Amino acid sequence: MSLGDALLVAGGGIGLAGALVALWSADLMRRRVPPLTEAVVADAVVIIPATGALPGLERLMAALSAQSCRPRAVVFTVESVDDPAHGRIAALAAPLPVSVVVAGETVAGSQKCRNLAAALRLHGEDAPFIVLADADIEPPRDWLAHLLRPLARGAADIVTGYRWPVPGDAGLATILGTWADRAVAGLPKPNRGWLTWGGSLALKRDVVRTLDLPALFEREISDDLALAGAARRAGLKIIFRGAVLVPTPFRHSLASLLGFGRRQYQMFLLYQPWLWAWAGLTLALNLFGSVSLWLLALRGGWGLVAFGLGAGIVALADGQRRRLARRAGIASTGQRMAERASRLLPLVLPLVHGVNLLAFLLSLDRRRVVWGHCTYRLRAGRVVAIERRAPR
């Protein structure tokens, strides 16, 4: 056997192993979603940083008001009164008490972190539990109950979840990004304080004081990774709940998808470099394995069988992720054509892994982070200059 043949066989083995790991992970996450067998009573305030036109604002408020564990109030926090989000929220006829905090422009961290800092200074003591959420989520009815139950029982200090991307169009970039992000949703997240997701996070009121979150957020560019690091150093307990899976609209061009992925990996490089390195190794192996299976398939015979086996296992993993979403209370899916097309992606995995790896390689430059309407210039991981555009 030549060296090239040996590499192809080894790569095919890596591709099959990766498919099996994806299936095992998705099945494990599906089984980790517990039933909500009792009513959860917990007094919480939801804080939501917002910017731009907020097309899903009414749906978000309807979902929050329909929660089985209804929040006491919702606090939106914006950069300025000139941000379109301010006018949208001010004109909202809300079924819940709503207030708006105007944070002002950031000077030392990201604008999202500045917005959170301002809201926590004013409302971080308003209730026993504080929930941080993104403005584009569409939470299921039991979202807050699942998020708050471990806090109400005293089993954790911080509870977090993850997003379930819902494609808004059938563009190639949207479909590729949806698949990649759902694969992350289907991965087990150890409760060791490595990660939190700021789009869906609950914490005890005491945590705001213990970590001095307003001061912490003022100087950071990532809210969730900075919080996770500070909580881990303070010895606080973080729980990552599979049941806290939140539908999030997802629509991208290739350029915006690469920008989104680049920023995600940049945050890991800044806050968790060993996880960044692990992600890069995994992406490289995934690409090598999927390309090897493709090349083996072109040879026919057992190579074609191996490719079909790998694609079938990956399709089963995708099915388990969809079952995970249904168990987490997510009934609806995205644009029909996009959902149908995504089921074909096990046949073209090199394209998925290639785009993902390209975003990872772009993250090597951590001197410039583009997020929303701001471009942050960094030196030694700290913001030294900010370029602004009008919020869209």
Q: What is the pLDDT of residues 298-332, one digit of tens each?
A: 988 899 999 999 999 999 999 999 999 998 888 77
Q: How many CA atoms lie within 13 A of 132 on its CB side?
A: 30
Do strands 73-78 and 44-49 pair parallel, antiparallel, or not at all (unpaired)?
parallel
| Residue 218: both structure tokens together | 């003022």
Q: Quick one: pLDDT at residue 376?
A: 96
Count of domains in the chain? 1
User: Do the domain assignments include residue 141?
Assistant: yes
User: Do the domain assignments include residue 382?
Assistant: yes
Q: Quick one: pLDDT at residue 268?
A: 95
Q: Quick one: pLDDT at residue 217?
A: 97
CA distance to 125, 180, 291, 355, per residue, from 351 (Å): 48, 11, 9, 6
Q: Quick one: pLDDT at residue 288?
A: 97
Rounded distance between C-alpha atoms, residue 331 and residue 283, angstroms: 30
Q: What is the DSSP letter of 32?
A: T
User: Do the domain assignments include residue 175?
Assistant: yes
Closest by CA position to 4, among listed 305, 286, 299 = 299
Q: How many CA atoms lie within 13 A of 28 on its CB side?
A: 13
User: Do the domain assignments include residue 205?
Assistant: yes
Low-confidence spans in the chain with pLDDT less than 50: none
Q: Quick one: pLDDT at residue 1?
A: 67
pTM of the model: 0.94
User: Cα Rg for the chain, rounded, in angstroms?
Assistant: 21
Identify the CATH number of the domain in which residue 214 sits.
3.90.550.10
Place of tokens 């370029």: 387
User: Do the domain assignments include residue 6?
Assistant: no
- pLDDT, tens digit, 9 for 90 and up, residues 234-280: 999 999 888 889 999 999 999 999 999 999 999 999 999 999 999 99
Q: Quick one: pLDDT at residue 389?
A: 86
- The secondary structure element, H or E, covering residue 384 is strand 382-388
User: Do the domain assignments include residue 349?
Assistant: no
User: Do the domain assignments include residue 304?
Assistant: no
Query: What amino acid occupies position 52?
Result: G
Q: Quick one: pLDDT at residue 191?
A: 74
Closest by CA position to 15, among listed 280, 294, 345 = 294
Task: Quote the domain boundaries for residue 140.
Answer: 31-272+366-388
CA distance to 79, 113, 226, 248, 386, per residue, from 390 (Å): 11, 18, 27, 24, 13
Please tell me whether residue 66 adopts helix, strand or coil conformation.
coil
- Determine whether 48 is exposed, middle or buried from the number of CB atoms within 10 Å of its CB (0-12, 13-18, 19+): buried
User: Do the domain assignments include residue 166?
Assistant: yes
